[in-house]
Structure 1
Amino acid sequence: MQGFLYQASIYLAAAVIAVPIAARLGLGSVLGYLMAGILIGPALGLVGQETAELQHFAEFGVVMMLFLIGLELEPRALWDMRHRLLGLGGLQVVLTTLVIMAGVMLLGHTWSVGLAVGLIFALSSTAIVLQTLSEKGLMQTKGGRSAFSVLLTQDIAVIPMLALLPLLAMSGGRSRVLEATDPAEPGLIDTPGSHGEAGMSLVAGLPGWGVTLVTLAAVGAIILTGIYLTRPVFRYIHVARLREMYTALALLIVCGISFVMYLVGLSPALGAFLAGVVLANSEFRHELESDIEPFKGLLLGLFFITVGAGINFNLLFGSPFLVLGLALAIIVAKGAVLYLLGRMFELRGRDLWLFTLSLAQAGEFGFVLISFSGQQNVVPGDMTEMLLLIVAMSMMITPLLFIFYDWLSNRMEEAGEALEHDDVDEQARIIIVGIGRFGQVVNRLVRSSGYETVVLDHDLAAIQRMRRFGVKGFFGDPTRPEMLHAAGLKDAKILVAALDDPDAAVRLVTFARREQPDLHIIARARDRTQVFRLFQAGANDIVREMFDSSLRAGRYVLENMGVGEFEAAELQQTFYRHDRHSVRELAALWDPDIPTVENAAYIARARELEEELETMLLSQLEESGDDDRQSA
């Protein structure tokens, strides 16, 4: 017990110290976990051989992650991805395998060894890539979705790879290039090749057709269970009204599915993903997500710590240039294949580089294939140590590739701003600056009502998207005086400032008010602070993004509490008028150089206005109640 508590304290302390530091430096949590593992393992020697056993346990975090991903994908969405799964993902696995196989053969190995190594390095790190894409908010980009499609294809491809490797069993022979490794030196990274017990299998000893039938039956059982059994079980658990039972059931679902997948020789991660897709339409989906998420995060972090703690630095220091050179060669080779495929599938700019750089490393399933290849005598024993180290090193380099992507992305943004601006050859009395979600609605309403508008935006993609729908817009920096004058600012009657950037919106309003004192300016704002800034800049009407929708929701609350529809609408209008009055009064007291909580005059007036509002609404409710009683 003491030993367990000591080791748990070491791992948790390392994570708590290293991960926040890495995150603050912009390196991401994954690199933080890896550095924590290096610190407590090879650097300080605080942990040892138990990292191999922990890695078996920690890989369950990858299984949970794929289950959660499945919950976010409805079957229809998965079907819509079929072209990328079979096309982009399938080509990536095949071409990367062939390229790396050719490279290994050029180094003097047999074709069977080359093919085995190609299969190992064709896979990327699902755990690192998806975790980092989620942290950086890149999952919903075109490049992020393409990367996810390839990762999903790779996870599925592990199954035929495990079936193919025994057919490549070597008759003998040793490595010619990697002889620098010492076969007597034990590796600290143990691999998860022996998940589960060898004696527990539903397919052992069965003929091929029997294995196929049992496998299909297991997959069918998972699908039927997810469709028909989970809802009654959740309702049964709900009766107990014990929060921990939901967590227990969520863990049971993931553990049970993983165990069934082990019994039939399939990837537990693939089974968990399949179950997640089946449950994506369930009303209990969000409950499952909230229960599994904490376990997933901790286990994934533990997995990365064990990878860092298990790096064989003796082998690395013995041949540092060879190890780093081979790791970089793998990254470059995979990156070249990914870049070409990305262009073939019409990825451009940031999306292309995100796709290329995010998938260029080896993955955690590489540990599985390396171990299995060694057991099947597919690759020589002295080569497996080096392969394990190359996989680990490439995974450690991945966060640096994302940092490189961030740098490229910023450079592309700067280059984008240098694009030649359009010549504005139209003028109208209504100028709309910013054609995002807010500006689009304004423009559609006004143009559909028969009024001409001139649309300006600095987002070239948004302008091009408008043009495909037959709406003309002009690309350029709409805060530039010459562009505004070309759009007809001098004779304009209304300017709509719908820019995303708050500072740019204030600059635009300030300039427009100075140039055209009689111009009516309608501005979009995110919060009250920006409202005050825009009022001081000279805007006439300011619309907060969420204000009107929030008022409507509040009206629905009142109606469902028994207030009549007419009375609720009147209360909504009273609140709206009072808020406009309040904002204008508070804008006069707001000082950008004084924090709001320290502005005594502002706080005092805000309290007075809030009391006035409450009195007005309560009086209005009482009057409507008296009217109802009199009419009755």
Structure 2
Amino acid sequence: MALDAQTLTTLAAGEPISAFSAALVAILTGAGLVALLAQRLRLPTIPAYLITGVVLGPSAINVMGRAEQVHGGSTGALDFVGDLAVVLLMFGIGLHLDLSTLRRGMAPMLVAAAFSTLLSTLLLWPAATLLGASATTALVLAMAGALSSTAVVLRLLQERRELHRQHGRVALAILLVQDMVVPAMLIVVPLLAPQSATDAALDTSPSSNMFVRAGLTVVAILGIVVLGRYALPLVLDFASKCGARSMEVLTILSLAFAMGAASITQLLGLSPALGAFLGGFLLSGTLFRHALAGQIGTLRDVALAIFFTVIGMRLDLAAAADHLPTILLGLAGLIVLKTIALTLSIWFVGSTLRIALTVALALAGGGEFALVIFNVAEDAGALPKTLTTTATTIIVLSMLLIAPSMAFARMIASKWRLAAVPPWGKRATALLDTHAHDDPNAHPLRHVIVAGFGLVGRAVSDRLINAGDRVTVIEMNMQTVQRQQRLGRAFVFGDVSDPAVLESAGLLEADALILTIPDEHAVAAACTTARALRPDLFIVARASYMSRGVLAKSLGANAVVVEEIVTAEAMEKIVEHELQVRAGEVPVTPAPSPQASAPHPTPPDSPSPQP
């Protein structure tokens, strides 16, 4: 049907675009383009989002102001997206905190992390007063400045495959402890606001309900713990057995729990980030943790892009230009003081000076949670807006310097040995040796990841294990995963095309990935994801048809086993053998077949000789 002028006019007379929608489109477009440019230049994306916000903010394009002026309405809903981003970020950090992996060598790492955070705060506190801050405001700035960027540092270490190295493990431990301290900081910061003293004074009156509120807080936290530790895993376990869309149900239920926990803590006057962190941490001990982390990862990344862009839009370039000497001095002070504090703390617990300095330079910059703390402090009245602009500018600039700082650390490590350890530090208990047995170079076994535990997956796994290889299986059937884990096998629940699931299975250090699942769409997605994470990984894929095999090869598979070709070869061998027997060319023997020559796979419930 042709569209005439009247029809076009009618279509154009629909609902007007809201200011929120217009601003959101501009933010996502700008953030996406700048992130693409940052990836091409091998720069971290979070500072790129902040720079995007500066360009789109009132100091330049003023996207929000123009959207409200042209389309009417308010763009305040973007603040809700920012709150959602913080909740998802804290929930994800809670999911990734597996304390069982940190028990070995936990003591020196806790000492290094706690001492470095405390020492950084103590050194930055008096320095922050040079920015014109009061004692309490300077303490807020110091606590925020003591934090490092988990997102940027881990991303850079991962890209260089340095997470398994000594300095990577130390940096990871310190970052995890810092992330665990963030909820406590988010509780303390509002108490440092000027009005907090007045509120506290009011709470001391006989009619105060302070004790009632404290009791409700304890009861609510205990309720969240009971639900997250006992009730929710049972519900998720039931949901995982309900069909093909179980992963969708798991994600929805988990996000509902995280948002509910965040709402409860906010209702009690605490930070919603604390509730989200607690919800994620309670689920970190379940089999669903890796799958859930992967499922919420995309939503979290989008929300964080909006959050950091909106944070960047709060920067006032004119005000920053007026305080340029202060900003440069603060930037230098932040990096120098944190480098000193981190180097001394890590060296103190027994690390070499080279490892200590390498980690210190990587963590010397500010972090994304400093921006969250500034946001909370400003809303609570604990941080004036002018200081927020100055401090945010310092943090943003320091995050931009993380990559060059890590490159500088590698240059120092390559030129100077710096092997000195403290006189009281023994090599056997030094921090750098706490995870020596986790070094892939020290493990003689080859590591192979097998996706799927059907008949093909079982046969492949058993053959590899009998050959002396270390095998990790990724499987979507929760009952199978639970049963095999009880038998002592290395199984991970989740979708093989999910980056978080692949990384949890050890893809970054694996020698090969074998895709035995019959779902060809999942095989194609897994090839793409695995190749992006590990360009040098050897990938073998299964395909039913030749066309699908060609597709898998084009997406990153090194080798493909096509069922059509294998069937044809087997049938040809059987027929050729029979013809040779009839012609008297070979003695009468059973015709060869793959089924006759292959060992039978172990039953699902029998233990296999996993090393």
TM class by smaller structure: 0.5 to 0.7
Of residues 272, 276, 285, the one that matches 1:272 is 276
Q: Which residue of 1 aligns with 2:242?
A: 239
Q: Which residue of 2 aligns with 1:155?
A: 182
Q: Which residue of 1 aligns with 2:603?
A: none
Decide whether the 8 Å contact of 2:361 with 2:409 is kept in 1.
no
Decide whether the 8 Å contact of 2:570 with 2:594 is kept in 1.
no
Q: 2: distance between equivalents of 1:307 and 1:395?
A: 10
Decide whether the 8 Å contact of 1:258 with 1:268 is kept in 2.
yes
Decide whether the 8 Å contact of 1:93 with 1:122 is kept in 2.
yes
Q: 2: distance between equivalents of 1:618 and 1:315?
A: 84
Q: Which residue of 2 aligns with 1:255?
A: 259
Of residues 2, 16, 24, the one that matches 2:40 is 24
Are residues 1:385 and 2:386 paired?
Answer: yes
Decide whether the 8 Å contact of 1:68 with 1:276 is kept in 2.
yes
Q: 2: distance between equivalents of 1:264 and 1:626?
A: 66
Residue by residue over 1:548-593, the C-alpha shift from the partner in whole angstroms, topping out at 9 and shown as x without a partner, is: x97xx98xx9xxxxxxxxxxxxxxxxxxxxxxxxxxxxxxxxxxxx
Quick one: which amino acid aligns to residue 278 of structure 2? L
Quick one: which amino acid aligns to residue 239 of structure 1? C
Q: 1: distance between equivalents of 2:76 and 2:381?
A: 21
What is the deviation of 1:289? 2.1
Q: Which residue of 1 aligns with 2:82?
A: 58
What is the deviation of 1:39? 2.7
Q: Which residue of 2 aligns with 1:492?
A: none
What is the deviation of 1:27? 1.0
Quick one: which amino acid aligns to residue 147 of structure 2? L
Q: Which residue of 1 aligns with 2:403?
A: 402
Quick one: which amino acid aligns to residue 396 of structure 2? M
Q: Which residue of 2 aligns with 1:103?
A: 127
Of residues 213, 226, 230, the one that matches 2:215 is 213
Residue by residue over 1:434-464, the C-alpha shift from the partner in whole angstroms, topping out at 9 and shown as x without a partner, is: xx96896499xxxxxxxxxxxxxxxxxxxxx
Decide whether the 8 Å contact of 1:95 with 1:337 is kept in 2.
yes
Quick one: which amino acid aligns to residue 43 of structure 1? A
Q: In 2 relative to 1, CA 306–111 (structure 1 residues): closer, same or farther, beyond 3 Å? A: closer
Q: 1: distance between equivalents of 2:76 and 2:329?
A: 26
Q: Which residue of 1 aligns with 2:143?
A: 119
Q: Which residue of 1 aligns with 2:591?
A: 623
Of 152-161 and 319-328, deviating more is 152-161
Q: Which residue of 2 aligns with 1:307?
A: 311
Decide whether the 8 Å contact of 1:143 with 1:354 is kept in 2.
no
Q: 2: distance between equivalents of 1:139 and 1:127?
A: 13
Residue by residue over 1:300-319, the C-alpha shift from the partner in whole angstroms, topping out at 9 and shown as x without a partner, is: 22222122222110101223
What is the deviation of 1:34? 2.3
What is the deviation of 1:249? 1.9
Residue by residue over 1:365-393, the C-alpha shift from the partner in whole angstroms, topping out at 9 and shown as x without a partner, is: 445555665677656x4xx4134332333
Q: In 2 relative to 1, CA 613–297 (structure 1 residues): closer, same or farther, beyond 3 Å? A: same
Of 9-18 and 264-273, deviating more is 264-273
Quick one: which amino acid aligns to residue 34 of structure 1? L
Q: 2: distance between equivalents of 1:626 and 1:408?
A: 55
**Larger Rg, first or second structure (1 or 2):** 1
Q: Where in structure 2 are the equivalents of 1:561-580 lying within 5 Å?
A: none
Quick one: which amino acid aligns to residue 178 of structure 2? L
User: What 5-or-longer segments of structure 1 have no aligned partner?
Assistant: 172-204, 417-435, 444-544, 558-595, 598-602
Q: 1: distance between equivalents of 2:184 and 2:282?
A: 20
Q: Which residue of 2 aligns with 1:527?
A: none
Q: Which residue of 2 aligns with 1:327?
A: 331
What is the deviation of 1:219? 2.3
Residue by residue over 1:105-128, the C-alpha shift from the partner in whole angstroms, topping out at 9 and shown as x without a partner, is: 567765445434433433344454
What is the deviation of 1:396? 3.5
What is the deviation of 1:7? 1.9
Say how many residue pairs are matched. 422
Q: Which residue of 2 aligns with 1:222?
A: 224
Q: What TM-score results when the alignment is normalised by the length of structure 2?
A: 0.58
Percent identity between the aligned chains? 22
User: What 5-or-longer segments of structure 2 have no aligned partner?
Assistant: 1-15, 69-73, 199-206, 418-438, 447-509, 519-552, 555-559, 578-588, 597-611
Decide whether the 8 Å contact of 1:156 with 1:270 is kept in 2.
yes
Q: 2: distance between equivalents of 1:287 and 1:614?
A: 41
Of residues 94, 103, 111, the one that matches 1:87 is 111
Q: Which residue of 1 aligns with 2:24?
A: 8
Are residues 1:38 and 2:54 paired?
Answer: yes
What is the deviation of 1:398? 1.4
Decide whether the 8 Å contact of 1:144 with 1:354 is kept in 2.
no
Quick one: which amino acid aligns to residue 290 of structure 1? G
Q: 1: distance between equivalents of 2:336 and 2:225?
A: 40
Q: 2: distance between equivalents of 1:106 and 1:328?
A: 13
Q: What TM-score results when the alignment is normalised by the length of structure 1?
A: 0.56
Decide whether the 8 Å contact of 2:23 with 2:75 is kept in 1.
no
Quick one: which amino acid aligns to residue 96 of structure 1? S
Quick one: which amino acid aligns to residue 63 of structure 2? L
Q: In 2 relative to 1, CA 363–213 (structure 1 residues): closer, same or farther, beyond 3 Å? A: farther
Decide whether the 8 Å contact of 1:88 with 1:341 is kept in 2.
yes
